[in-house]
Amino acid sequence: MKALLKIKPEKGLTLMDGPDPKPGPYDVLIRVKATSLCGTDAHIYNWDEWASHRVHLPRIIGHEMFGEVVEVGTEVSTINVGDRVAAESHLTCGLCFQCRTCQAHVCKNYRILGIDFDGSYAEYVSLPERVLWKTAPDLPPELGCLHEPLGNAVDAALAEDLTGHTVLVTGCGPTGLFAIAVARTAGAAQIIATDISEYRLQLATQLGADHVFNANTLTPEALGAALSDLLGGEGVDAALEMSGDPAALHLAFQSVKNGGRVTLFGIPRGQVCFDLPNEIIFKGIRVYGVTGRRLFGTWYRLAGLFKAGLNIRPVVTHTIPMVDFAKGFDLVNSGQCGKVVMVP
């Protein structure tokens, strides 16, 4: 099969031919129909400091995928040949305290598809039955492969009820855009989005944002004042910080009303200092960190959101063949895209 491998500790990937994976008794062999490019994959492609310490070479990368089942192991009981499936990328141990107390999403020993074992940037991938999710038969591949990152947005947005609430989303990368769509479908009354890319702010409007602000053209003080004016000095009910940018982090905490909630998904590049008493403690703010999806509650909730009319199609801005992977990562690195989907 053809696959994209990280072979050398330098920028780039290598397209190679190799043997098809062989499923074990509890595994399923999947023909990959679509796999999307993720920020994590960009870290590995660019070979930054995080990737150099986290990823062991060689490795087929990629973890956001959709495909058709072509072979099942002898002990597989719930998946059949011909099923269309997405996959949970976190393989949990099932034995640690977290796994045994219904907190598998923070398993101490989880392994990640495309990082700790070979991933989905390939024509075929073999995965355990227990991480697969059957999708609706009419769901197109370019949307089916988005279940995994979309699940992050569902957990971020719906950690608490948003019905009738005002929501601020700082950072309109793909997961931030998904969060806007989820918040709109879940009944948020008003959605405000900030980003440094006019391109992505236009996408945010298409997905349901009522007001957008370009943080690249406003000072942090001016942006904070604009939000305060818009909200009548009251603040938002919930702030979803999806960028990891220090200025955006402070904006999220400063813009949320007393007693509100801040969800943190974006990863800062370094340490960030806070005025804990005034930004968090005295305001009585609830802080929720997102690290993947709740297994598998988030997946069931996502299925319901699709039935309720969740529309994420505008997020998919580019579809490319696997041979053009370098163009795809150039787009991701430029920020002039939503989600880039690759077809093997």
Provide the residue range defining the domain that includes 330. Answer: 2-146+312-343
Q: State pLDDT tens for residues 216-232.
A: 999 999 999 999 999 99
232, part of any domain: yes
Same domain, 130 and 115: yes
Specify whether 156 is located in the same domain as 284. Answer: yes
Residue 35 lies in a domain: yes
- 277 and 320, same structural domain? no
Q: Does 117 lie in the same domain as 53?
A: yes
Q: What is the CATH number of the domain that holds 181?
A: 3.40.50.720
19 and 100 within one domain = yes
User: What does each of the 344 residues of the chain score in pLDDT, given as a tens digit?
Assistant: 999 999 999 999 999 999 999 999 999 999 999 999 999 999 999 999 999 999 999 999 999 999 999 999 999 999 999 999 999 999 999 999 999 999 999 999 999 999 999 999 999 999 999 999 999 998 999 999 999 999 999 999 999 999 999 999 999 999 999 999 999 999 999 999 999 999 999 999 999 999 999 999 999 999 999 999 999 989 999 999 999 999 999 999 999 999 999 999 999 988 999 999 999 999 999 999 999 899 899 999 999 999 999 999 999 999 999 999 999 999 999 999 999 999 99
Angle of CA points 107, 112, 114, to nearest 5°: 180
Q: Does residue 297 sit within a domain?
A: no
Question: Side chain identity at 161, as an amino acid letter?
Answer: D
Same domain, 65 and 180: no
Q: Are residues 232 and 325 in the same domain?
A: no
What pTM, to 2 d.p., does this model score? 0.95
Same domain, 49 and 9: yes
Both 117 and 89 in one domain: the answer is yes
CB of 337 closer than 8 Å to CB of 202: no
Q: Which residues are catalytic?
A: 40, 43
